[in-house]
Amino acid sequence: MRSPQAIAADPAVNAFVMANAGSGKTTTLVNRVARLLLAGSAPGAILCLTFTKAAAAEMQRRLYERLGDWAVAGDARLRDQLAALEERAADSFDAHDLSRARALFRPGAGTPGGLKIQTIHAFCEQLLRRFPVEAEVSPLFRVIDEAEAADIRRRARDRVALADDIPGLATAYLHMAGKLSQPDFEAMFDRFEAKRAELTDYVAQDGGAATLQDRVAASVGLDAWIEPEAAERAAVTARASTQRPG
């Protein structure tokens, strides 16, 4: 009976694999690519997509290591390896099969850019560069890293918040910047970005931004909006009155 890994590695099978970390997914993928190459597929026609650069590099390393080992392996060891890979009898591989397996390292390594083992982001970037007009992006676009993107978001946020186009926004922005630590302040805006659609819908309800303060006040049991400092003074004054000797 064929093992699940062998079935998933069979190029003739369309497979969807769900497995935990460390269960052998990368090995199964490497086996599948190796079998595609053994079956005669051109290296440049094979595309493997991963989520991270580290995963792509690891898969490429393992595959080239496998093909390099085949290139120098003796007949007996190579037959055993091919037999284990394809779950066939070792004596079913003839001299032509061994010669073809040994030659895979050369075209695999010689393909421009190597075998296409890359991240999803890198693949999408290549598509955009090939079809910028269809994607409605500038042909001269540049991909920025996460640190640069975060810096651009911060500068844009400061420009909008401190422009005084929205009454009270700059005051609230500076107030929160002074009350929160830098990590907490940034985390607050990360949550805002994650909930952007929900926040936009909430602000647009029942009169939009004009009624937002009163709606926030009502949500905490107040009859109308009151500035925090005024609420604090009123509470202190009320307490002082109750404690004053009659």
Q: Which CATH number fits domain 4-135: 3.40.50.1580, 3.40.50.300, 2.40.37.10, 3.30.70.2190?
A: 3.40.50.300
pLDDT over threshold 60, residue 96: yes
Kindly report, residue by residue over 173-191, the tens digit of the pLDDT: 888 888 889 889 889 988 9
- % of the chain beyond a pLDDT of 70: 93
Which residues are CB-contacts of 43 (< 8 A; sequence separation ≥ 6)?
37, 107, 108, 111, 115
The 3-state DSSP class for residue 78 equals helix
The domains of the chain are located at 4-135, 146-243
Mean pLDDT for all residues in the chain: 85
- pLDDT in the model for residue 243: 59
Its pTM stands at 0.61
Measured in degrees and rounded to the nearest 5, phi and psi for residue 143 equal: -85, 125
CA distance 83 to 77: 10
pLDDT over threshold 60, residue 112: no
